[in-house]
Chain A
Amino acid sequence: MAIVIEHITKRFGDFVALDNVSLTVPDGELTALLGPSGSGKSTLLRIIAGLEVPDRGTVMLGDRDVTNVPPQRRGIGFVFQHYAPFKHMTVRDNVAFGLTIRKRPRDEVKARVHDLLSLVQIEQFADRYPSQLSGGQRQRMALARALAVEPEVLLLDEPFGALDARVRKELRAWLRRLHDETHVTTVFVTHDQEEAMEVADGIVVMNKGAIVQVGPPRELYEHPANEFVMGFIGEVNRLGDAWVRPHDIDILFDEVPDSVEALVERVVYLGFEVRVELLRRDGSRVWAEVPRDQAEQLELREGQIVNTRARDARTFPASDSSQSSASEQPTSA
């Protein structure tokens, strides 16, 4: 079921959370709403869910106009950042909730709950209470609960934000696998670009209440529409007007055209990658990302003088304020 949003505007007092936003979320895909705090991504998600009502605009789920339909009747599933468990019910009753209130027959409910608990791998906790589960387990329970009523659209609001790094990574991969099995149209909100890149089929980058760019992860990374997107997704160095990815900064010993001398200030070994902090002769500070074997080959160490060359530097036309972080003025090198 595709989601079509048109001309959505939402204010909270004086604060404009969403400014005339339109978007189409493809059917059956895993889409990420990515952006910093205050970008409006959560508000947009909640409007899709019906938990917020837009000041203007329409929301369509499939071919139904659901703008004025309460969340109970939209056929959505929602997963909250802090899990929103029903603390006074067991895990089993939590997952069964949607089915129970629809008065489904006991056997059917029991079977379905069992299947879901196995799917999310918490069947051994079925009779415990949420407070007895870890964060990761609680979130999996929340997912099972949302899936129990077979929603057409699954919405997740920073689902892994409250978990620590390792659990986050595990659940991310797990969500992707789940989606591949179920193919439910899924939208999730995150401020973590790595998460979006890793999990989503398509990313919607948002900033200050507007959509900045939409596309598959690779496209956003390789062809960012403006400085904001380039800076937000992936790492980036600024060289005056130009923006360069760290892995596009070559470190050489020989002088070549376009190369600039630089002092190696610091070499950091981060597992596979090596991060080399450089002070260039023109005064700019950049850092390059170099594969481990190359770093060893070059025998990089602090105090060395090397040559650097920036491949594939990007410049963007003078931005119009609504689309990118207008607060930064490019400085001349």
Chain B
Amino acid sequence: MTSTAVTERQGTRSPSYGRRWPRLLIRSIGLLYLALLLALPVGLIFVRTFAGGLEPVFTALRSPDFQHAFWLTVTLAAIAVPINTVFGVITAITLVRRRFPGRGLLNAIIDLPFALSPVVIGLSLVLVYGQNGWFGSFLKASGFQVIFAVPGMVLATVFVSLPFVVREVIPVLREIGTDQEEAAYTLGASPARTFLRVTLPAIRWGVIYGVVLTTARSLGEFGAVSVVSGRISGKTETLTLYVEERYSEFDLIGAYTAAVVLALIAVAVLLAMNALQSGRGNQAREWVTDLLRLGRGKRRPPSDNDTEKAALDTNRSEI
């Protein structure tokens, strides 16, 4: 007889008739893989960075190129994130609530930033806004530089981080349905008011999670800005480009320091994502959980919830 593991939800009910050693073996393999691929490398870089003490790190942090790269990166994110959030929400609402020709196509376009290599994205921007690009002569004439300048980098950052808010908001919109909005209309609320007071709060977790992902992506972009920026130190170098540059100049501490800063931001993002998982899942999951009366961390006596589950079941078409 083997012991049953503590369950959280139905999907985690371990069969009491399983054996012990395969479970331990599988666990070890999985954890070892993660350690070798993820945990150790990241851990090591923290160790290496501070191996020579704090002083070299502070020097690196104070370098003007680093500072510029840092603030440029932050600026790019500060521009890209609001744009993608506002337009992302609008796009999501449009796609879910309206029917119009080309809807499917639009939906597919949203996934393009995922499907394209970052350097390809950079290339495509060059082909439009570069010297010999579609708008090349027009831009030259007006003296406005896009490629090898910050505007190009903004476009690249917006492009690569575009899908996140949309993709996070769409399922939430679908899930909450139109009931609440319709209720608001019948109570006399204008569309704008309804949007602000009803829709937006309902989708807030999806939006927040999307913003976190967008921010992470914007801060971490490398390939596209690599192509588009010309990598002029102190002018068009983001923090990620700075890491590469320092490494190729054999300035390991410089590279490591910048990497650690980025890694710390990544960890903060991870923590935010994790905290939000429970938050954003909650809105949708809460009513399901209540419905099925599952307690967290308690073993579940069988077949108690069947009346509710039966209600859900018979909603499917039965004879």
Q: Are B17 and A70 in contact, CB atoms less than 8 angstroms apart?
A: yes
The docked-state distance in angstroms from the alpha carbon of A134 to that of B316 is 9
**Would A81 and B16 count as touching, CB distance under 8 A?**
no
The docked-state distance in angstroms from the alpha carbon of A21 to that of B74 is 67
- Between B15, B298, B309, B319, the greatest number of chain A beta carbons within 10 A of the residue's beta carbon is seen for B319
A135 on interface, CB distance cutoff 8 Å: yes
Q: Mark B288-319, 1 if CB is under 8 A from A, else 0.
A: 00000000001111111011011001101111
Q: Are A134 and B1 in contact (CB under 8 A)?
A: no
Report the bound CA distance from A53 to B5 in whole Å.
12
Q: Which residues of chain A in 140-170 are interfacial with respect to chain B, using CB atoms and an 8 Å cutoff?
A: 157-158, 161-164, 167
Known: A134-B317, A162-B309. A52 touches B300 (CB 8 A): no
> Bound state CA distance, A136 and B4, in angstroms?
33
From A53, A68, A72, A158, contact of B303 by CB (8 A): A158
A53 partner, pick from B1, B302, B306, beta carbons under 8 A: B1
Given A53-B16, A136-B318, residue A46 in contact with residue B310 (CB < 8 A) = no
Whole-angstrom CA separation of A167 from B304 in the bound complex: 22
Q: For chain A residues 29-66, which have a beta carbon within 8 Å of chain B?
A: 37-38, 42-43, 46, 50-53
A103 smallest CB distance to B (angstroms):
22
Which residues of B are found within 8 Å of A38, using beta-carbon distances? 301, 304
| A52, closest chain B residue (CB) | B16
Whether A157 and B303, one on each chain, are in contact in the complex, defined by CB atoms closer than 8 angstroms, is yes
Chain B residue at minimal CB-CB distance from A131: B316
Beta-carbon contacts of A218-229 to B below 8 Å, as 1s and 0s? Answer: 000000000000
Q: How far is the CA of A158 from the CA of B319 in the complex (A)?
A: 19
Residue of B at shortest CB range from A18? B301
Query: Judging by beta carbons under 8 Å apart, are A167 and B319 in contact?
Result: yes
Closest partner residue, chain B, to A54 (CB atom): B1
Determine the distance from Cα of A161 to Cα of B314 in the docked complex, in whole angstroms.
10
Count of A interface residues, CB-CB < 8 Å = 31
6 additional contacts, CB 8 Å, given A81-B306, A135-B313? A15-B298, A52-B16, A52-B302, A81-B303, A82-B313, A136-B318
**A17 interface residue per 8 A CB criterion:** yes
Q: Give the distance in Å from the alpha carbon of A150 to the alpha carbon of B309 in the complex.
A: 30
Judging by beta carbons under 8 Å apart, are B299 and A13 in contact?
A: yes
Query: What would 27 A/B residue contacts be, using CB atoms closer than 8 Å?
Result: A12-B300, A42-B302, A42-B304, A51-B16, A52-B16, A52-B302, A53-B1, A53-B16, A81-B306, A81-B309, A81-B310, A134-B318, A134-B319, A135-B314, A135-B316, A135-B318, A135-B319, A158-B303, A158-B306, A161-B306, A162-B310, A163-B314, A163-B318, A164-B314, A164-B318, A167-B319, A189-B303
| CB closest residue in chain A, given B317 | A134
Decide if B319 touches A46 in the complex (CB within 8 Å). Answer: no
Residue A26 is within 8 A (CB to CB) of chain B in the complex: no
Which residues of chain A are within 8 angstroms of B304 by Cβ–Cβ distance?
37-38, 42
> Are B313 and A43 interface neighbours, CB within 8 A?
no
Q: Does A28 contact B (CB under 8 A)?
A: no
